[in-house]
Amino acid sequence: MGVLLDFPQALAERRQHAIFSDFTDDYVSTSWVSTLTDSGTAGVGDAAGGIMALVASDGTVADNDEAYLESPNETFLFANNKPLLFEARIQFTEANTDDANIIVGMKDAVAADTLLDNGGGPAASYTGAVFFKVDGGTNWQFETSISGAQTTTDLTAANANNLSKVVQTAGGASYQTLRISFEPYSSTAAKVNGFIDGVHVVSHDFTYTSATEMQLCAGVKNGGANVETLNIDYMGGWQLR
């Protein structure tokens, strides 16, 4: 009788494309790429569990200084029969009341002004699905986008599209886990679901025709003359090949 081989984990998952980091090693641009303006920084220091700290500015702190961390190449794509999962565990404490601008998720062409100036939210045209928070607000919003066709859900308690029916406050002393799932059900349409700390908070019926490849990303932008910092415990994306 033959012996049943016990496949290595990597072989068992060979149909899955994945990028994941626990941010325990020193930051190097081959694993993740940073987009920094106004002397902002991205770095891994001494912190339990490994933490990537994105600091929007250094030296002369100003409104709209920004810092982003993204996977180095666009290797994820909204496509039929290719479900996709993104997850990140993040934390930020407002330097000034409600001034921080934050983005976490997947999008193409991560660059300066991925978050628009003056609390403008994500770029006006991109392929992606993201959680974000804007200057002047204190709760999460969720957006899906193909070029300029965008659907945005403000996760307030009053919004009927907030499935949790309670305000989803962004930031604070505790870490939050943000998850996005892309679940295609035809060659043109999918359900895109957002979860915060394991709670299903939003679902978009999403037409993904003409989607382009995406990067994993997280970013922070100052909303005033106080430096804002985004801490990332881990970030990853998984998609069926």
Residue 233, pLDDT above cutoff 90:
yes
User: Which element (helix H / strand E) includes 11?
Assistant: helix 9-12
Structure-model confidence comparison of residues 30 and 239, the more confident one? 239
Residue 147: per-residue pLDDT: 96
| Distant-in-sequence, close-in-space partners of 94: CB < 8 Å, separation ≥ 6 | 100, 171, 228
Q: What is the pLDDT of residues 101-136, one digit of tens each?
A: 999 999 999 999 999 999 999 999 999 999 999 999
Q: What is the mean pLDDT of residues 148-164?
A: 96
DSSP state of 18: E
By the 10 Å C-beta count (0-12 exposed, 13-18 middle, 19+ buried), 151 is classed as: middle
Strand partners, 144: 129, 151
Average pLDDT for the chain: 93
Q: What is the mean pLDDT of residues 165-180?
A: 97
Vertex 125: Cα angle to 140 and 187 (nearest 5): 90
Q: What is the mean pLDDT of residues 159-176?
A: 96
Vertex 125: Cα angle to 122 and 131 (nearest 5): 30
CA within 13 Å, CB half, 180 = 28
Structure-model confidence comparison of residues 69 and 27, the more confident one? 69
DSSP labels, 150-206: EEEEE--TT-TT-TT-S--B--SSS-EEEEEEEEE-SSSEEEEEEEETTEEEEEEEE
Q: What is the pLDDT of residues 15-41, one digit of tens each?
A: 889 999 999 988 877 789 999 988 899
The Cα 203–Cα 208 span in angstroms is: 14
